[in-house]
Structure 1
Amino acid sequence: MDATQLETIEDLQKVVNYLSSANDTLANKQLAFRAIKKAQFFKDLDLEFEARYQYMSQCTFLNFDEELIAQFPWFLNICDQHPDRFRYRSVLWSFKWVLDVIPEYHKVSLQQIDSLLQDFEARYRAFGAADKIIQHYYMKVYVKLGNEEKARQAHEKYKQATSNHVLLDCRACQSDNLLNIFLMTKEYQTLLDTAKPILNGQISCTEVPLLTYPKAMMAAMMLGNWELAEVYASKAQRHLNKSVTFPVEYSQLLLFYTIKEDFVSARAILEQQLPLLMARTSDYLHFHFYLAAGLFLQAMVRAENSTVKLNFNLKQLPFDIADKDGEYPTTALSQWFNEQAKHRAGLLDGRNGNGYYMGYLEEMREWTDQQLVK
């Protein structure tokens, strides 16, 4: 949509109406931001709400998590100040988006996360939601906190709950989210069984099966079914949006291509995703991608590749060590990624009060070494 004529209240209303059903693109994200500023200029709080909500939605599905987190408190405050004026149900729905990402930042304390969960539960119960949806999100948060015991407890409560609610995620998203706990608990066959309705095309939504294929690929790899892993890797590559950062999903693909010693495909993922990742601050995302990148480069060292050519436009350390042809010393780059993965694991474990991420790091390094010597 042409935003050059965003001059009047009528223009602003048209833009907001357009954004309410528009695709998630960088251009529409920028348009929504302009609409916020214009609504503030007109001092129209209702249109500001709508513009902000569309902006937050664009941020969410384009994976600009930091901007999502920054926007969300405004909505809770404005709805509390003006009961029944705004779309409170939509705000409650977006609360789930925040819970999805807030545990990824080590600077957000356990106390803050617990407080957010309590606020989430209180608001949802006041709105009529019951255990099914609440325990679902407790489970998701505890998985990212590396707390297997609490994640399992929430999962059991989720399974026992039978209530339904308008704020409950769709069936496809619920099934896909369950796969994360099975990766955590190493129940790989259970993961594939749970994912069957998604993988067979029986259920789907905007993000599913797009986000499901890499998890299914990981489970198949861990079970030693490389033929099946290849199927899901191909589907993941075909469906993931390469212009959007998907650090966890692409880190899983990076690991697959590393084990297969398909260094061309692995290098393409590193070139494409790393510049996008560098604009992010999530410790969780950096940890997963750095770990996979370090394992890939170690595999190249093992295969006696002393240098690797990467087409980066990155100036910060250590990406200023390439020669004029874009060749990097593989050992030095591998060491940097490994150190950074260990650093991020330490930050998360330090906040979480456990050793989950450091343990995962060591397990994946050992497993990758075992696969590469077969």
Structure 2
Amino acid sequence: MNYEDKIKELVFKAYDYMDVHKYSLCVPLLEKAVSIARENNDILNEMYCKFDLITAYVFSNQAKKAMITFFWCVSQMEKGYTNDEVVYQVIWEYKYILSNMCDYLVIPNEKINETFEKMKNFYLENNISLSPYYSLKVEACQSGIEDGTSIEEYYQKWLTTPVDHKYEDCTACTINKKVDYYIFIGDYEKALRQAKDILNGKFKCGEVPSTTFANLLIPVYSLGKYELAEEFHKKGLRAINENKGLITCTPNHIMYLSITNIEKGIEVFQKNYATLFKNEDDTTTMWFNAACYALFYNIYKKGIENIKLKLPKDSPIYCNDDYDIKTLKEYFFNETEKFMNAFNKKNGNHIISEFLKTHLKVCGC
């Protein structure tokens, strides 16, 4: 078997895992394929494998590696290693990368805006609709990344720009992004109406409706639609348990349980803590800390002083005795404040912290 056949064999095995959303199992196969291509100085094949690897990294919550891999591919393309397939992949991967860059405190906003500008120019050079660009700009505004244009203006540009279906998100993801926009601006009723064709099962994908359920939990509860919120929680948590790639939805469920079912909240916290306290994405880490703060704050309000927990020994809150509720509450409060302040300083605004606080307020914090 020559090296190209070995690469194909590894890539096809990885595709089998991708088909069932087991992205973490794709990673070692694709990394091996990349290594074989590199050993044979086959830059184009290395790029093809890395494009698949970017997808696997993103959907297995390893976005840092995805970014490094993507920028390497772009640098090779700029050196002349390009063809129609490379251009197609770069157009797509820009969307994956920019949808994750805003979640990392270590990435300066200047780098994010520079990448947006490169995406825009690359799309224009290849006569591609800017609809995905405007969609990502709406997301960036929600993450506090400002450039002088309002989120409302970017949203309208997204809605009114003709689409290029070859490079558009699936219908479920497109609707989900619109739902997120209305949640962000505080129009929860409109968010719920926008989600109609997701909630009735007409449109779905690997992440939707799970992310929709999670993001609507606190808004729907705040509207007094308690039965609907409970339905979203049960369906969403079931999906997370079946697909660990959705674990970033967990904080929303812990927040919800902090006001509806503390015992269940403790169970979900214990089950997911080992993974989430090591999570590399700062936005998810901040929301997880905030959700845990809400949980232990509400336990503390009930007059409970100590609790038995099974947590990993390498965690920063581990102890070999019963856990003090006040200590846990204060720890997660301080961690939440630390991340909120860091994002506020990085962005030069309070967009992220104010949005998070609207959720904590519903939780009684």
1:194 paired with 2:223, answer: no
**Which deviations, in whole Å up to 9, do the C-alpha atoms of 1:174-225 show, x marking residues without a partner?**
1101222212111101111010011111112222112211123233112111
**Which deviations, in whole Å up to 9, do the C-alpha atoms of 1:263-298 show, x marking residues without a partner?**
222112212222212333322111111001011011
After the TM superposition, which residues 174-185 of structure 1 pair with which residues of structure 2 at under 5 Å, given as runs? 174-185=174-185
Given that residues 294 and 337 in structure 1 are in contact (C-alpha distance below 8 angstroms), is that contact kept between their aligned partners in structure 2?
A: yes
Count of aligned positions: 360
Given that residues 120 and 130 in structure 2 are in contact (C-alpha distance below 8 angstroms), is that contact kept between their aligned partners in structure 1?
A: no
Structure 1's 250 and 149: CA in aligned 2 closer, same or farther, altered over 3 A? farther
**Residue of structure 1 in register with 2:251 after alignment:** 251
Partners of 1:10 and 1:355 in 2: CA distance: 53
AA partner of residue 349 (structure 2): N
Displacement of 1:78 after TM fit?
1.6
AA partner of residue 109 (structure 2): L
Partners of 1:242 and 1:329 in 2: CA distance: 32
Partners of 1:172 and 1:243 in 2: CA distance: 18
**Residue of structure 1 in register with 2:273 after alignment:** 274
Given that residues 242 and 272 in structure 1 are in contact (C-alpha distance below 8 angstroms), is that contact kept between their aligned partners in structure 2?
A: no
**Residue of structure 1 in register with 2:219 after alignment:** 219
Partners of 1:12 and 1:163 in 2: CA distance: 35
Structure 1's 12 and 151: CA in aligned 2 closer, same or farther, altered over 3 A? same
Q: What secondary structure sits across from 2:172 in the alignment?
A: helix
AA partner of residue 301 (structure 1): Y
**Residue of structure 1 in register with 2:61 after alignment:** 63
AA partner of residue 213 (structure 1): F
Report the TM-score, using the length of structure 1 for normalisation.
0.89
**Residue of structure 1 in register with 2:12 after alignment:** 17
**Residue of structure 2 in register with 1:40 after alignment:** 38
Q: What secondary structure sits across from 1:240 in the alignment?
A: helix
**Residue of structure 2 in register with 1:53 after alignment:** 51
After the TM superposition, which residues 123-272 of structure 1 pair with which residues of structure 2 at under 5 Å, given as runs? 123-145=122-144, 150-241=150-241, 244=244, 246=246, 248-260=248-260, 262-272=261-271
Displacement of 1:251 after TM fit?
1.0
RMSD: 2.2
Partners of 2:149 and 2:193 in 1: CA distance: 22
After the TM superposition, which residues 210-359 of structure 1 pair with which residues of structure 2 at under 5 Å, given as runs? 210-241=210-241, 244=244, 246=246, 248-260=248-260, 262-319=261-318, 321-323=319-321, 327-359=322-354
- Runs of 5+ in structure 1 lacking a partner? 1-5
Displacement of 1:135 after TM fit?
1.1
Displacement of 1:111 after TM fit?
1.4
Structure 1's 84 and 245: CA in aligned 2 closer, same or farther, altered over 3 A? closer
Q: Calculate percent identity across the aligned residue pairs.
A: 17
Given that residues 218 and 362 in structure 2 are in contact (C-alpha distance below 8 angstroms), is that contact kept between their aligned partners in structure 1?
A: no
Structure 1's 135 and 361: CA in aligned 2 closer, same or farther, altered over 3 A? closer
Structure 1's 299 and 322: CA in aligned 2 closer, same or farther, altered over 3 A? farther
**Which deviations, in whole Å up to 9, do the C-alpha atoms of 1:272-327 show, x marking residues without a partner?**
222212333322111111001011011111112212222222424222x341xxx3
**Which deviations, in whole Å up to 9, do the C-alpha atoms of 1:63-99 show, x marking residues without a partner?**
2112112211011112222232753211210111111
Instruction: Answer with 146-155 or 182-191: which moved more.
Output: 146-155
Q: What secondary structure sits across from 1:211 in the alignment?
A: helix
Partners of 2:320 and 2:152 in 1: CA distance: 46
Instruction: Answer with 145-154 or 172-181: which moved more.
Output: 145-154
Given that residues 246 and 273 in structure 1 are in contact (C-alpha distance below 8 angstroms), is that contact kept between their aligned partners in structure 2?
A: no
AA partner of residue 35 (structure 1): A
1:76 paired with 2:71, answer: no
Partners of 1:26 and 1:351 in 2: CA distance: 31
Q: What secondary structure sits across from 1:87 in the alignment?
A: helix
**Residue of structure 2 in register with 1:3 after alignment:** none
Given that residues 13 and 47 in structure 1 are in contact (C-alpha distance below 8 angstroms), is that contact kept between their aligned partners in structure 2?
A: no
Displacement of 1:166 after TM fit?
1.3
Structure 1's 127 and 191: CA in aligned 2 closer, same or farther, altered over 3 A? same
AA partner of residue 355 (structure 1): H
Partners of 1:366 and 1:130 in 2: CA distance: 40
Instruction: Answer with 290-299 or 303-312: which moved more.
Output: 303-312
**Residue of structure 2 in register with 1:98 after alignment:** 97
Structure 1's 269 and 235: CA in aligned 2 closer, same or farther, altered over 3 A? same
- Runs of 5+ in structure 2 lacking a partner? none
Partners of 1:318 and 1:266 in 2: CA distance: 18
